[in-house]
């Protein structure tokens, strides 16, 4: 039974600490004069067994929502309807403490192609939406967010979101959702798997590294993922779709992030749209080879790795079987006492969600997931905060019925769910 917490204690002791009660573990970190440890989010975060902890030794549990920024405009959605401040305020007001902020590698590729200069938001709206709606949406964006101007770049919008999150004490988890900016995910979108049509592995690793480095200016940024929902692509890249190649590429991605910014937690996601990551939990062969996950491959940062899975078994009609499914797909890693658990990690449900326009929130799926997360004291991000997208699948101003917010992002779509479902879930789980 491997316990990453033990390793992090050992490394703290190696830094000159003494064997103190668990509540004092954080003190050796202060020897580094790390000012960040003196104010929220009290980073850098580390893992200790099944928990994420801040530098003071307190547990951190994300309870939050996805906030997409990987669409064609390549800035966080909703800003033509509301200000960054009002959206973050809304998120915070119901007890959520984190956002999973998504971006596309295309943004970074374009920065490199343009001698390090990012595209302006103004140009990006026009490129994505055309000559009619581009300028119109952009002027809405400026009206709602008057601190921006014609020279504001896409990354500066991400900067402003991260700065507002710091102000309001909302953790930022940065998620690479796509290579080519667009709605995700299908098996024929060219972004499914390493080497797929629009998924260049070197550009991906370069993009992770760029954002990890850039994120040093975002104190609220505490973790990054490698890639959203890896899946078997249609076409020729499918022959390499397996756990063995997953591992080769995952090591490349984690190393890209950790060498650029060693403070960040790094989330590992599984196969089949990130619906399971069991071979890492049970330490079985990464097929078709016989190699296995090994902490030796993450030397110096084994206490930075976290697992994430997604669940969209929305038609579930039996809560016990849904809970077993969640457990067997990854949450088993929270349970060191299970004889089949070899690697203990924190595990988060970084996507789940349902239509907000009806009573789905009272159905088996939504209530079962909520009770499971509360029982496990596990972190989560609901899909999705967006009441609408600038563009999705070719349709502009796309209505998102799964959105927590209404079309114009002004208020909750289902206040019944917020009061009766989401707030209690956030209260039962959020820490930090």
Residue closer to ligand NAG by CB (options 131, 151) is 151
Please state at what angle helix 105-113 crosses helix 154-167, rounded to 10 degrees: 130
Alpha-carbon span 277 to 225, nearest angstrom: 14
Stretch that binds ligand NAG, among 40-48, 91-99, 150-158, 398-406 (CB under 6 A): 150-158
231: left (phi over 0), alpha (psi -120 to 50) or beta: beta
Contact characters 14-33, ligand NAG, x per CB under 6 A: --------------------
- Beta carbon of residue 146, minimum distance to ligand NAG (angstroms, whole number): 10
**206 burial via Cβ count (<10 Å: 0-12, 13-18, 19+):** middle
**Alpha helices, DSSP H only, in 360-420?**
364-376, 415-417
Residue closer to ligand NAG by CB (options 157, 426) is 157
Residue 19's contacts (CB-CB under 8 Å, 6 or more residues apart) are 13
Query: b or e along 124-139 (b: 16 or more beta carbons within 10 Å of the residue's beta carbon)?
Result: bbbebbeeebbebbbe
Could you say which DSSP state residue 385 is in? -
Q: Is residue 123 involved in binding ligand NAG (CB under 6 A)? A: no
How is residue 66 written in tokens? 């996805």
Stretch that binds ligand NAG, among 50-58, 146-154, 163-171, 240-248 (CB under 6 A): 146-154
Query: Judged by CB under 6 A, which of 115, 151, 315, 339 binds ligand NAG?
Result: 151
Residue closer to ligand NAG by CB (options 133, 152) is 152
Residue closer to ligand NAG by CB (options 154, 177) is 154
Residue closer to ligand NAG by CB (options 152, 176) is 152
Stretch that binds ligand NAG, among 27-35, 147-155, 286-294, 328-336 (CB under 6 A): 147-155
Alpha-carbon span 228 to 103, nearest angstrom: 10
- Beta carbon of residue 151, minimum distance to ligand NAG (angstroms, whole number): 5
Dihedral of the CA atoms 334, 336, 342, 343 (nearest 10)? Answer: 40
Closest Cα to residue 146, out of 160, 133, 131?
A: 160
Report the Cα 2 to chain-centroid distance in Å. 25
Reduced to 3 states (helix: H, G, I; strand: E, B; else coil), residue 73 is: coil
410 close to 82: Cβ distance less than 8 angstroms: yes
Residue closer to ligand NAG by CB (options 123, 156) is 156
Q: Say how many residues touch ligand NAG, by CB under 6 A.
A: 5
Residue closer to ligand NAG by CB (options 18, 151) is 151
Stretch that binds ligand NAG, among 83-91, 151-159, 199-207, 216-224 (CB under 6 A): 151-159
Alpha-carbon span 54 to 359, nearest angstrom: 37
402 close to 353: Cβ distance less than 8 angstroms: yes
Q: Is residue 148 involved in binding ligand NAG (CB under 6 A)? A: yes
Query: Judged by CB under 6 A, which of 139, 149, 217, 410 binds ligand NAG?
Result: 149
Q: Is residue 156 involved in binding ligand NAG (CB under 6 A)? A: yes
- Beta carbon of residue 118, minimum distance to ligand NAG (angstroms, whole number): 11
Contact characters 221-260, ligand NAG, x per CB under 6 A: ----------------------------------------
Residue closer to ligand NAG by CB (options 156, 272) is 156
Q: Is residue 85 involved in binding ligand NAG (CB under 6 A)? A: no
Q: Is residue 152 involved in binding ligand NAG (CB under 6 A)? A: yes
The 10 Å Cβ neighbour count of residue 174 is 26
Residue closer to ligand NAG by CB (options 152, 222) is 152
Read off φ and ψ for residue 410, nearest 5 degrees. -90, -30
Residues at the contact surface with ligand NAG, assessed by CB under 6 A: 148-149, 151-152, 156
């Amino acid at each position: 039974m491997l316990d990453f917490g033990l390793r992090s204690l050992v490394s703290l002791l190696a830094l000159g600490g003494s064997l103190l009660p668990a509540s004092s573990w954080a003190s050796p970190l202060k020897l580094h004069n790390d000012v960040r440890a003196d104010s929220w989010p009290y980073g850098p975060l580390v893992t200790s067994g099944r928990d994420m902890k801040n530098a003071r030794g307190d547990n951190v549990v994300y309870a939050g929502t996805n906030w997409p920024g990987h669409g064609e405009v390549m800035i966080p959605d909703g800003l033509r309807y509301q200000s960054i401040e009002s959206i973050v305020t809304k998120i915070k007001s119901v007890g959520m403490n984190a956002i999973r902020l998504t971006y596309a590698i295309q943004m970074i590729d374009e920065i490199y192609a343009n001698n390090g200069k990012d595209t302006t938001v103004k140009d990006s709206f026009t490129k994505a939406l055309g000559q009619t709606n581009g300028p119109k949406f952009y002027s809405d964006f400026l009206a709602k967010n008057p601190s921006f101007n014609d020279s504001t770049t896409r990354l500066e919008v991400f900067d402003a979101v991260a700065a507002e999150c710091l102000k309001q004490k909302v953790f930022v988890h940065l998620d690479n959702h796509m290579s080519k900016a667009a709605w995700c995910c299908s098996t024929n979108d060219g972004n499914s798997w390493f080497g797929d049509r629009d998924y260049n592995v070197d550009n991906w690793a370069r993009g992770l590294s760029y954002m990890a480095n850039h994120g040093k200016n975002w104190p609220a940024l505490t973790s990054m993922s490698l890639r959203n929902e890896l899946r078997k692509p249609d076409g020729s890249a499918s022959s390499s779709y397996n756990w063995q190649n997953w591992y080769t590429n995952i090591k490349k991605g984690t190393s890209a992030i950790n060498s650029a910014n060693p403070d960040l937690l790094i989330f590992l996601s599984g196969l089949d749209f990130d619906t399971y990551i069991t071979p890492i939990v049970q330490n079985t062969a990464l097929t078709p080879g016989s190699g296995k996950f090994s902490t030796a491959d993450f030397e110096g940062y084994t206490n930075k790795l976290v697992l994430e899975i997604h669940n969209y078994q929305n038609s579930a009609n039996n809560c016990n079987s849904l809970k077993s499914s969640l457990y067997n797909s990854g949450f088993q890693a929270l349970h060191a006492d299970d004889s089949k658990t070899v690697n203990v990690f924190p595990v988060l449900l970084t996507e789940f969600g349902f239509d907000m326009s009806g009573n789905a929130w009272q159905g088996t799926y939504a209530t079962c997931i909520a009770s499971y997360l509360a029982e496990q004291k596990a972190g989560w991000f609901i899909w999705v905060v967006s009441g609408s997208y600038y563009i999705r699948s070719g349709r502009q101003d796309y209505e998102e019925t799964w959105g927590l917010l209404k079309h114009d992002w002004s208020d909750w779509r289902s206040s019944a769910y917020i009061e009766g479902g989401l707030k209690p879930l956030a209260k039962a789980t959020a820490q930090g």
